[in-house]
């Protein structure tokens, strides 16, 4: 039951303000979409949730405000960032399978953590591949190279690799941008099933996708939070004219 509370979050790269005084709540066990035009701050906000922005190689980064996970500040000095990133997993826009077998891709993180029990590894492989809606397609070819999978299968494999570590939150940054409609539908169906067990925060590739999957929605524009709330309301009865203009295609 992992939920985020964000208070007065401002994030700057050099002289660019990527996020400006953002305050919002991300509820547990829902699909929360973060949408808006290019350079709205979507990926920056997503990466603030597991501190991937810490890896940016520039000294001119400044962050103000708080990001709380279940009431605890994830930027507190004693936070174990490695453990945070296990709890808050990430799936990127471009699938990056490792040059290993399908099986070894899924258990890679588990082995890095020291898990060696064959039964435990096999159980986690099947469970995470089922959760990612990939098991039936690959169960008889787990020893084959992951690079032989289609693009859509590779993306679902990356989802499975994240789920194998049993996170509490799954972040997805535009994960279907390069996929065909059938593969996109399979990923979306997987997310609807996964929200029963995980908190999902998702940057979609279009307003249409956002409206399809959102339980909750966050609209960003030029680094500012314009509107947040239940997805059904945001996409059918937005309260801010800028939200309505973007959702209806008047700009973007």
Q: Domain containing 48 — which CATH number?
A: 3.40.50.300
Mean pLDDT for all residues in the chain: 93
26 found inside a domain: yes
Q: Which of 63, 62, 77 is nearest to 7 (CA)?
A: 63
Position 222 pLDDT exceeds 90 = yes
Residue 66: enclosing H or E segment and its boundaries?
strand 61-69
Structure token digits, residue 96: 């990056």
Q: Helix H segments across the chain?
A: 42-48, 81-87, 102-112, 118-131, 135-138, 151-163, 181-194, 207-213, 231-236, 241-247
Q: How confident is the model at residue 49 (pLDDT cuts 50, 70, 90)?
A: very high
Q: What angle do CA 157, 204, 54 make, to 5 degrees?
A: 75
Q: Mean pLDDT across the stretch 172-183?
A: 87
Note the pLDDT of residue 58.
Answer: 66
Q: Is 26 helix (H, G, I), strand (E, B) or coil?
A: strand
Structure token digits, residue 21: 């005084």
Position 151 pLDDT exceeds 70 = yes
Range of the domain at 199: 4-94+167-247
Note the pLDDT of residue 59.
Answer: 63
Per-residue pLDDT tens digits for 224-234: 999 999 999 99
136 found inside a domain: no
Q: Quote the number of domains for the chain.
A: 1
152 found inside a domain: no
């Amino acid at each position: 039951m992992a939920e985020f509370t964000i208070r007065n979050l401002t994030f700057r790269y050099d002289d660019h303000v990527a996020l400006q005084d953002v305050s919002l709540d991300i509820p547990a066990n829902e699909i929360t979409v973060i949408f808006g035009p290019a350079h709205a701050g979507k990926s920056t906000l997503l990466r603030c949730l597991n501190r991937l922005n810490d890896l940016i190689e520039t000294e001119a980064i400044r962050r103000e405000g708080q990001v709380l996970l279940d009431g605890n500040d994830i930027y507190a000095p004693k936070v174990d960032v490695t453990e945070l990133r296990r709890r808050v997993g990430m799936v990127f826009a471009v699938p990056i399978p490792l040059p290993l077998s399908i099986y070894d891709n899924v258990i890679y993180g588990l082995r890095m953590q020291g898990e060696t029990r064959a039964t435990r590894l096999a159980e986690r492989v099947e469970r995470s591949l089922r959760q990612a809606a990939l098991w039936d397609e690959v169960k008889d070819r787990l020893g084959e190279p992951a690079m032989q999978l289609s693009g859509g299968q590779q993306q679902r494999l990356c989802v499975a690799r994240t789920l194998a570590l049993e996170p509490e939150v799954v972040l997805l940054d535009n994960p279907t941008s390069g996929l065909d409609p059938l593969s996109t539908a399979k990923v979306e169906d997987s997310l609807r099933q996964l929200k029963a067990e995980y908190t999902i925060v998702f940057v979609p590739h279009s307003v249409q996708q956002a409206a399809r999957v959102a339980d909750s929605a966050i609209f960003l524009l030029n680094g500012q939070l314009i509107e947040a709330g239940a997805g059904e309301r945001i996409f059918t009865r937005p309260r801010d004219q800028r939200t309505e203009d973007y959702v209806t295609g008047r700009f973007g």
